[in-house]
Chain A
Amino acid sequence: RKEVEQDPGPFNVPEGATVAFNCTYSNSASQSFFWYRQDCRKEPKLLMSVYSSGNEDGRFTAQLNRASQYISLLIRDSKLSDSATYLCVVNPFSTSGTYKYIFGTGTRLKVLA
């Protein structure tokens, strides 16, 4: 089983739609969680950190369920510019103090006009 699992998609949605991405992780001791956005042939860029209380940034809402080891990202009122790959990222606990990221394979989103 992969440490971080995502549905690879692609998700094709019309402009204005609401779309939700899910992600599960296997290491229950994981400490930090993030969503990154990656455009084609570009580097990942931080979209949101995910906190236990959930957090919202404009049209984007991220939630964490530690009991189910599940992270979600909701995008409301999709824009054409939201088309990208969304990477779920987990930062597992490490006794060596390494804060490495474990990435999912990413979910591709295409917003259609």
Chain B
Amino acid sequence: DTGVSQDPRHKITKRGQNVTFRCDPISEHNRLYWYRQTLGQGPEFLTYFQNEAQLEKSRLLSDRFSAERPKGSFSTLEIQRTEQGDSAMYLCASSWRPPGLAERGNEQFFGPGTRLTVL
């Protein structure tokens, strides 16, 4: 399967614990995104990497959240001291923009998500 993969698919944890999620993007994609989705809402942007550089972080990403993409391939998202409000689906997406196509490209492809439940 050459799509975006995420691990684990489900995580149940107790409030106050730390959790870490992993995302493996499509292999030739240099752009990687994390989003969070709660019930009845569209996904909300959390952070963006181009290669290994984290270029933007949303204000949603409090200091309890950290993301890395150490070698420009897979990425991890860690949540420290989880709270019940962190319960959500965490989605990873990747993209690659071909040069010269100004109006096209940047279609993002999503992984199956990690569903986090904080008790």
**B48 partner residues in chain A, CB cutoff 8 A:** 98-100
What range describes how many residues of A lie at the interface? Answer: 20 to 34
- Give B23-67 as 1s and 0s: 1 = Cβ < 8 Å from A's Cβ atoms: 000000001010100001111110010100001100000000000
Contact A96 B107 (CB under 8 A): no
How many angstroms from the CA of A33 to the CA of B95 in the assembled complex?
15
**A52 partner residues in chain B, CB cutoff 8 A:** 103
Q: Known interface pairs A32-B103, A51-B104, A52-B103. Does A96 touch B56 (Cβ–Cβ under 8 Å)? A: yes
Q: A32-B103, A100-B56 are in contact. List 14 more A-B contacts (CB 8 A).
A: A8-B40, A41-B115, A44-B110, A45-B110, A46-B107, A49-B107, A51-B103, A91-B106, A99-B97, A99-B106, A100-B33, A101-B35, A101-B108, A106-B41
Q: List 8 A-B contacts (CB under 8 A).
A: A4-B42, A8-B40, A42-B112, A44-B91, A51-B104, A94-B56, A96-B56, A106-B41
The chain B residues found within 8 Å of chain A, CB to CB, are 31, 33, 35, 40-45, 48, 50, 55-56, 91, 93, 95, 97, 103-113, 115
